[in-house]
Amino acid sequence: MDIRIERDPNPPSPPDWETLQFGKHHSPHMFITEWRDGAWHDPRIQPYGPIDLDPAAKVLHYAQEIFEGMKGYRSADGGRHLFRPEMNIARFNRSAERMCMPTVDPDVFMKALELLVEMDRDFVPPAPGSLYIRPTMFGHEPNLGVASSDRFLFYVITGPVGSYFKGGIKPLYLKAETEYVRSAPGGVGYAKTGGNYAAALLPIKKAQAEGFDQIIWLDALTRTKVEEMGAMNICFVYADHVITAPIMPESDTILAGVTRDSIGALVEEHGLTWVEESPVLSRVLEDAEKGDLKEAFACGTAAIVTPIGKIHSQGRDHVIGDGEEGPVTEHLRTTLGAIHAGESELHPEWVHSVC
């Protein structure tokens, strides 16, 4: 499928790399295509701008929407590259199937990503910055009937972002959330859909008002097993292994993170065993008190790898290790960061060059 290109005749200049804010800056172009009559039509790259939307559009009433979060990087040799984009494309299509939406041809998806990054290559910051990429799809049929839309828009926007760790590494202070839940078995927890994040806004806001950085989601049925952090996967480091909650097919409540998958491979290469089973919160906290739990960290596209210093549960703070970033967490963070920046020879298959 050919992609039509309409260039912005007066594109803006890239922002100051030193003052970047996440999600505040946008590159000059976007990709967009529409699904109607059972097929995708008029795939094109056009100047970034508003999208017309009918007030009765399905997405506004029934939240039929999915998205992805991925990044592009400036290579050491001056080129541009993506990090494991095929995994994001596959996850996007799994989300689409769960939300009763059409899938996107992976070849067209990849070509759109490559064209966008190359056209707006000047908006890819040098390391430690990156180009955040947000593919999105939503149903826009103007019909208030409770049924799947028969028309969809798929688009991709991008924008430069800076280092997540402005001012240095700060270990997170987390609250184990026992009142609210993120997802339940049989639900849409494994899909990257906006409703999952909307449901998290109130408990995160409450936790932050109480002085916490983020929350830990527990399982919906028993409130005893650790699932995810607010918007990232979470891992616990012991002397010989790292444990994290399982994903599909064992569990349909956890988002299968691309960073999480990458960390799993690096953990094994570091000489530790990667264990996917539901961590029991009480046992994790007991292990922290005994010193058996050495470190904990969160991982995701935005922050890459973030150390966890303390967990609050049932009125008590539990310090993880010495409360600072541990050696395993630091190794994983710096190793993956070097791969992202194209400064490592490890896992060249994870780096997708943009020609």
Task: State which of 109, 130, 163 marks the end of a domain.
Answer: 163
CA atoms of 328 and 75, how far apart (whole Å): 26
Assigned domain for 32 exists:
yes
Domain co-membership, 23 together with 156: yes
Structure tokens at 142: 């103007």
Assigned domain for 96 exists:
yes
Amino acid 102: pLDDT: 98
Q: 329 and 307 in contact (C-beta within 8 Å)? A: yes
Amino acid 66: pLDDT: 98
Task: State which of 163, 190, 221 marks the end of a domain.
Answer: 163
Assigned domain for 241 exists:
yes
CA atoms of 193 and 214, how far apart (whole Å): 20
Look at the chain and report how many structural domains it folds into: 2
Domain co-membership, 157 together with 183: no
Amino acid 169: pLDDT: 85
120: exposed, middle or buried (Cβ count in 10 Å: 0-12, 13-18, 19+): buried
Assigned domain for 354 exists:
no
Amino acid 300: pLDDT: 95
58: exposed, middle or buried (Cβ count in 10 Å: 0-12, 13-18, 19+): buried
- Furthest CA-CA distance within the chain: 63
Amino acid 328: pLDDT: 98
| Sequence-ordered strand ranges (E) for the chain | 4-5, 29-36, 39-47, 65-67, 70-74, 80-83, 130-139, 152-161, 172-176, 214-218, 226-229, 233-237, 241-244, 273-276, 295-300, 304-313, 316-319, 351-354
Q: 301 and 70 in contact (C-beta within 8 Å)? A: yes
Per-block mean pLDDT, blocks of 10 residues, the chain (355 long)? 93 94 94 98 98 97 98 92 98 98 98 97 95 98 97 98 80 97 95 95 97 96 95 95 96 95 98 98 98 97 94 97 97 96 94 92
Domain co-membership, 132 together with 237: no
User: Between β-strands 241-244 and 233-237, what pairing exists: parallel, antiparallel or unpaired?
Assistant: antiparallel
Domain co-membership, 135 together with 66: yes
Segments forming the whole domain that contains residue 21: 4-163
Domain co-membership, 158 together with 176: no
DSSP letter assigned to residue 142: B
Location of structure tokens 């939300």: 99
Amino acid 1: pLDDT: 74
Q: What is the CATH number of the domain that holds 75?
A: 3.30.470.10
